[in-house]
A and B are shown apart, each in its own frame.
Chain A
């Protein structure tokens, strides 16, 4: 249901991370590091986004696990749905417009890249 809900600063940060590579699947831990959101904040937001149909979730398949990483459980993956992308674009645009005012500037903190990503480790750009 396309209800208009005001997005929090944390939700906007997560949306900007998810919307940066919308077709790609994301992992919880990677999102946590990228957005600097604590897991206790991140997961309830993910759960809420999924409830509203804005987030698609999927468990890793057994084929993926078989590719040399045995011994660990399958992981949960996330990406925005079409509706979620539309809402994210709208919410982020609205937030950017608001950020012009001094008081709201802080709410649009861009998702900080992980230091290792900034260092340009080989292979990371493929993500």
Chain B
């Protein structure tokens, strides 16, 4: 019989009375966890789990048991790996399973999935969001397109390139002029190609004049002209606002604005123009047409271009709206009620045109609400004071209507922010599945190449590395196809949004792809975006406390051992 008494730990354990040991909570937990490890262990080697479990009663301290438990978990993982690789057989007896026909079919399926235009579009869109610098056509690409378009006399591409090139690019204005001369319906490009705040485009005044001549009913070309003047007295050289703009005393504004009759005169014409078109739809259509013609299929580029579309300078609009409202109050004070109403109505009509005809759903609309609200507030008060009850009621109705529309607009924006968590989740799935596609495609390629190079080395088939590669080459293609399926299922709504892209759905496109852009933005701006830094330091603090706690727990065990040695 086996001489058990000679084992040192048994000698020690004999000194202890097992029944006297109290089963404290940690022991119960460890016993329970080991029970789970045994039940999860592959059946063909479960004896080893039982062997580890049987050693637990020999341990004196909780710390030792916890270490043993951690080892049990690690051994469980290794046992499952061996089970998957060797199928429960002794390593040497297990034939090496090379990737078979199923793996080949899966790889072919994965490759053929890229024949789908939507799949290619999706991958390009994701890579665009991973690397913002490649998400927008760069200057060199644009210059190349411009040169080709110049040779081909392609007006749309010339306008597309001119709109996107930086102001310093020498060919920007020349190509815009050429595009307009080839196709005068593209004259609007003079507005969309100019920077809102700088207006430093070469020959700016001449181009504005051409635009005004081409679209005389539109307020926007007039606003563009006025903006140049406004920037000269309301902005500082570094792009900020002049001091008087932030003054609470409106008399300072009056004093400054009175010095610039050329601005008030142009703005007066703009506020009186019958239409308001900021050419965003034209810009969107041109972008889409040129992208499709060149087979670019790059939704993120289109979204960025839509988001970067120029809108009129809203500070300029607000300043003039306030100015004419002030003029109205001056007239009221002087007893000229009819003249005062004229000023108020001018502001109200402009705001209404801006609200109805602007294609922007953003701040432009909010500004139009403010202009209308201020104007009707003045009109209501004026009509009530002068006893014109019907007009006062109408002004009150318009005022309430505008307030309600403004509140709905704000609430919708808030609701969108709340609902954005849904596209954000789908965007996260798209990014995760893209990453999986890359990893599994790489593993499939590497493992197949590795096996192809060592196919003659059957003598090495017992090596774990060889068997591991065989498993990877069998599993990776299946994971690759699953990742592609996951990606495509999640990307489908985006694909549809891009397929339906039109000015009418431009906002949908921006909000849909905005979710896709959010994920890499969050990770690249972890420290500055949201509460990334707070989460990090909280996590670090918790881990630090945990480490200190472990040290404190270990100290008594060490002292005990030292005492024993002593």
B47-A76 in contact (CB<8A): yes
The answer for the CA separation of A110 and B5 in the assembled complex, in Å, is 26
For residue B39, give the distance in angstroms from its CB to the closest CB of chain A: 16
Evaluate whether A29 and B58 lie within 8 angstroms (CB atoms) in the complex, with A60-B2, A71-B19, A127-B8 already known: yes
Contacts of A58 in B (CB 8 A): 2
Q: Mark B60-87, 1 if CB is under 8 A from A, else 0.
A: 0000000110111111001100100000
The answer for the CA separation of A68 and B15 in the assembled complex, in Å, is 11
**Chain B contacts with A in 28-72, Cβ cutoff 8 A:** 45, 47-48, 50-55, 57-59, 67-68, 70-72
For residue B85, give the distance in angstroms from its CB to the closest CB of chain A: 12
- Nearest B residue (CB) for A47: B48
B561-A43 in contact (CB<8A): no
**Chain B contacts with A in 238-254, Cβ cutoff 8 A:** none
Contacts of B74 in A (CB 8 A): 38-41, 44
A43-B48 in contact (CB<8A): yes
Q: Mark A80-123, 1 if CB is under 8 A from B, else 0.
A: 00000000000000000000000000000000001111010101
B79-A47 in contact (CB<8A): yes
Evaluate whether A61 and B55 lie within 8 angstroms (CB atoms) in the complex, with A39-B71, A39-B75, A40-B70 already known: no
- Nearest B residue (CB) for A44: B78
Which of B2, B9, B73, B561 lies in contact with A25, CB distance below 8 A? B2
Evaluate whether A29 and B73 lie within 8 angstroms (CB atoms) in the complex, with A61-B2, A76-B54 already known: no
Contacts of B55 in A (CB 8 A): 27-29, 39, 75
Of B2, B4, B82, chain A has the most CB atoms within 10 Å of the CB of: B4
- Nearest A residue (CB) for B49: A43
Contacts of A76 in B (CB 8 A): 47-48, 50-51, 54
Contacts of B561 in A (CB 8 A): 115
For residue A51, give the distance in angstroms from its CB to the closest CB of chain B: 5
Chain A interfacial positions (CB closer than 8 Å to B): 1, 3, 24-25, 27-30, 33, 38-44, 46-48, 51-52, 57-58, 60-61, 63-64, 67-69, 71-77, 114-117, 119, 121, 123-124, 126-127
Q: Mark B554-566, 1 if CB is under 8 A from A, else 0.
A: 0000000100110
Q: Is the interface of B mostly helix, strand, loop or mixed?
A: helix
Evaluate whether A114 and B565 lie within 8 angstroms (CB atoms) in the complex, with A39-B75, A47-B79 already known: no
Which of A42, A51, A68, A77 lies in contact with B91, CB distance below 8 A? A51
For residue A17, give the distance in angstroms from its CB to the closest CB of chain B: 13
Q: Mark B276-293, 1 if CB is under 8 A from A, else 0.
A: 000000000000000000
Contacts of B58 in A (CB 8 A): 27, 29, 75
Report if B349 contacts A (CB, 8 A).
no
For residue B316, give the distance in angstroms from its CB to the closest CB of chain A: 70
Contacts of B10 in A (CB 8 A): 27, 69
A43-B52 in contact (CB<8A): yes
Report if B7 contacts A (CB, 8 A).
yes
A29-B9 in contact (CB<8A): yes
Contacts of A64 in B (CB 8 A): 1-2, 4
- Nearest A residue (CB) for B13: A69
The answer for the CA separation of A42 and B52 in the assembled complex, in Å, is 10
Report if B11 contacts A (CB, 8 A).
yes
A124-B9 in contact (CB<8A): no
B71-A38 in contact (CB<8A): yes
Evaluate whether A40 and B4 lie within 8 angstroms (CB atoms) in the complex, with A1-B92, A52-B92, A115-B564 already known: no
Report if B90 contacts A (CB, 8 A).
yes
For residue B31, give the distance in angstroms from its CB to the closest CB of chain A: 11
Report if B530 contacts A (CB, 8 A).
no
Of A40, A51, A52, chain B has the most CB atoms within 10 Å of the CB of: A40
